[in-house]
Amino acid sequence: MKEEVLFNEQHVTSRQWETYPIFRFDEVPTVIVAIIDRPNENPLGAGEAAQGPTSAALANAVFQACGKRIRSLPIRPEKLVQMKEM
C-alpha cells in the first residue's frame, strides 16, 4: 500500500532507504506466528509466497467497498479520493 519505486525517463530515482515509503513497525497489525513441528516435511520456507496475493486482495477489497478497480500500486489515500471523484 505504500511501496513505490519512482522512475524518470532514464533510471530509478528512488534510491535512498531513508525516504523509501514502506510500512514501519508501528503501522502494521500484530501478527501471530504459530510454529508447527512437521519433522516429516521438507524445509521449504515459512509461507513467504502468501505475500504475493496481498495487493490483489486489497485491490479487490477496494472494489467491493466502492465499485471501482485499482489498476496500479501502491494504493494511496489520494488515489482513492481521485477515484471517488470520477
How does pLDDT run across 35-67, given as a tens digit for each residue?
Answer: 888 889 887 766 665 666 788 888 999 999 989
Query: For 74, left (φ over 0), alpha (ψ -120 to 50), or beta?
Result: beta
Residue 25 clears pLDDT 70, i.e. is over it: yes
Residue of 81 and 19 predicted with greater confidence: 81
58 with 1: CB under 8 angstroms? yes
Mean pLDDT score, 20-32: 84
Cα-based distances in Å from 82 to 15, 51, 77: 27, 27, 9
